[in-house]
Structure 1
Amino acid sequence: MVALDPLELLFGGMGKLGPGSNADTLQALRSLPKDHFDLVVDAGCGAGRQTLVLATALGVTIHAVDSHQPFLDELRRRAEDAGVASRIQTHCMDMSDIPTVFSSIDLLWSEGAAYNIGFADALAQWAPALRSGGFVVVSELAWLSDAAPAAARDFFRAGYPDMKLTTENIRLAQEAGYRVLGTHTLPRAAWIDDYYEVLEPRATTLASHQDAAVRALAQETLKEIEVFETAGDSYGYVFYLLQRS
């Protein structure tokens, strides 16, 4: 019997695997003091919504890194459809191994993925792969208020206990040797459009699935959406625009 993949059942075929939008990606990209980069790496690219945006906007090869091959396969299909397949190279590997494969990166991009190895750890691990003066643009889940509702605190205490205030993440980036050029917080619509509005009915259907792992992932997703609906103003995804010293 073929083992079920809960991630594939819940997220398969989705263009967005997390909060974000093409407009927000472009806003962050255009906020950088430079518009040409020779070596670009998208760390934790998922199905590559932002990868396609970068390939189109920059016109250079984007090295898309993810540890889940089905997501990379989906990215390849989408890149073919978008006519940018020649500008995207996929790499099935762990984000923490980026310095062993790449060096002198001009722009390292990562949307909603750094938490997998920790925000501060990711910045420290990626630093050796960046050229002097290279840029990192990373979006990270952060508290926007130090008075978040208990429901949100409890949910993320279990799911992401290392989540910090935006100001704390700025300090961590500076301590890691980066200059903070700016920040940008995703608007509410970037969570809902093509993400929660697609994910919620899928999760509702899978919440009674016969496989326990599938049920657990679906029920956790529904709880996440419930927390967002009641306490979403107290946290959000924040882009940090950084330059390596």
Structure 2
Amino acid sequence: MFLISGLAKRVGLSRTTLLYYEKLGVIRGQRLGNGYRVYTELDAQRLTLVMQLQAGGLSLKECITCLNGKIDKGILSERLRLLDEEIVQKQKARKLLSGLLGESSNRDFHAQLNELAPQAHYEWLLQQGFTEKEAQRIRWLSKDMNTHDQYMQDFLTVFEPLTRWGPGDDSDTLKAISHIPSKASNILEIGSGKGLSTCLLAEQSNAQITAIDNEPIAVTNLAELIESKGYAEQVTPMCASMSELPFKAHSFDAILAESCVYIMGFEEALKQWQTVLKVDGLIIVSDLVWLTSKPNEKYQSFWSTEYPAMTNVDTRLIQAKKLGFEVLDDFTISAKAWQNYWQPLQARLNTLKASMPESQAIKDIQTELDMYQSHDGSQFGYHFFVLRRNAL
């Protein structure tokens, strides 16, 4: 027999809890002649059983039901389902904390944030001490702030010797820039890369061209190219950010940005860039879009992670018009433009895989190349939009 203090010590519960359990009928004390209440070994064991059931996730009411009658397997099944859900959530929480501590990859974390809260994600990365360029590259390339430096080193090892850093063909670019008036005096190219389109602009126009890119290697290569082509007096290469253009308002007659508008987002880019554009000036951009209303699940799954804001042509046209632009032309780039990009890139990867077998950058690039090579051109593609800024 136990006094209540002894029972409390035996089962590890407080006196107040025991009195509450007695009120619910879990235990049944007997009052002695001297006024003290005593409890039996069975009371102690019933308390132990209740605590074991509670450890399985059952409520106290459910525990008492199980204690005093046949086990309700429906209740147990529901508790098991809820417990499984909780375990999944706990595992996700552990993975997130482990990733933030640098003990494991946090690619899923960045991918989800970039899809669900892109602006907050970007600003948070800046608060962690990353530069604007690093933050954008974590969002779109490495997707892991712990391994970002190595990823970008591998990424540039792949791309540095290549002429094209994105899909493109001279014929497509020439068709797009043919809309630039001959009287244009100042043209801005955003995301100039190594300068293939820059040279086309210089060949087709007498305008002064400012070509910006945030990658120093690309800017250096561009400077060497325009010098060799004799365009040094016409073209000014700059290392600058597309999201913080260092130019006065209404500085340019036209802006060309191929395959890079996704970094800022189509609408945000048009909003910001039009401030440096003259009235009636042109913005010419190419963006990755869906070319079908029912994309294949494989492609949809891939691009939902790589480019969450990807949409169809009609939506982009509506967005441009709402921002006050007149659409002069729009067209999808050619199959040759894709071949110009992926064939040299695939050859480059093939030469590096043996020496860089664990490179996440190479694995990611190969996955994207597999998407390019497996589709027939009807699912997705880069699409040019030639837009004229109307008077505000």
Q: Does the alignment reach a TM-score above 0.5?
A: yes
Provide the aligned length of Structure 1 versus Structure 2. 239
Aligned residue number for residue 158 of structure 1: 305
More strand by percentage? 1
Q: Counterparts of 1:89-238 in structure 2 under 5 Å?
A: 89-98=236-245, 100-104=246-250, 105-193=252-340, 195-210=341-356, 215-231=359-375, 232-238=377-383
Q: For each residue in 1:63-98, what CA deviation from the matched residue of structure 2 results, as whole angstroms up to 9, or x when unmatched?
A: 001111100111111112222122110111110112
Q: For each residue in 1:207-234, what CA deviation from the matched residue of structure 2 results, as whole angstroms up to 9, or x when unmatched?
A: 454485xx21211111112112222421
Task: Return closer, same or farther for 1:207/1:148 CA change in 2, 3 Å cut-off.
Answer: farther
Helix, strand or coil for the counterpart of 1:17?
A: coil
Aligned residue number for residue 84 of structure 1: 231
Aligned residue number for residue 204 of structure 2: 57
* Residue 22 of structure 1 pairs with residue 170 of structure 2: yes
Alignment RMSD (CA, Å): 1.8
Residue type of the alignment partner of 1:14:
L
Residue type of the alignment partner of 1:19:
P
TM-score using structure 1 length: 0.91
Q: Residue 59 of structure 1: CA displacement?
A: 2.3
* Residue 239 of structure 1 pairs with residue 384 of structure 2: yes
Residue type of the alignment partner of 2:343:
E
Task: Return closer, same or farther for 1:209/1:167 CA change in 2, 3 Å cut-off.
Answer: farther
Aligned residue number for residue 84 of structure 2: none
Helix, strand or coil for the counterpart of 1:237?
A: strand
Helix, strand or coil for the counterpart of 2:166?
A: coil
Q: Tell me whether 168-177 or 101-110 shows the greater mean CA deviation.
A: 101-110
Q: For each residue in 1:152-200, what CA deviation from the matched residue of structure 2 results, as whole angstroms up to 9, or x when unmatched?
A: 111111111111101111111111111111102101111112x211100
Residue type of the alignment partner of 1:178:
F
- C-alpha contact 2:209 2:236 (8 A) present in aligned 1: yes
- C-alpha contact 1:143 1:236 (8 A) present in aligned 2: yes
Residue type of the alignment partner of 1:218:
I
Q: Residue 122 of structure 1: CA displacement?
A: 0.2
- C-alpha contact 2:282 2:388 (8 A) present in aligned 1: yes
Residue type of the alignment partner of 1:59:
N
Residue type of the alignment partner of 1:122:
A
Task: Return closer, same or farther for 1:66/1:33 CA change in 2, 3 Å cut-off.
Answer: closer
Q: Tell me whether 233-242 or 13-22 shows the greater mean CA deviation.
A: 13-22
| Alpha-carbon separation, structure 1, partners of 2:275 and 2:268 | 12
- C-alpha contact 1:142 1:238 (8 A) present in aligned 2: yes
- C-alpha contact 1:39 1:107 (8 A) present in aligned 2: yes
- Unpaired runs of 5+ in structure 1? none
Instruction: List 4+ stretches of structure 1 deviating above 4 A.
Output: 208-212
* Residue 8 of structure 1 pairs with residue 156 of structure 2: yes
Percent identity between the aligned chains? 26
Bigger RCO (CA 8 Å, 6+ sep) = 1
| Alpha-carbon separation, structure 1, partners of 2:351 and 2:360 | 12
| Alpha-carbon separation, structure 2, partners of 1:120 and 1:183 | 16
Residue type of the alignment partner of 2:282:
F
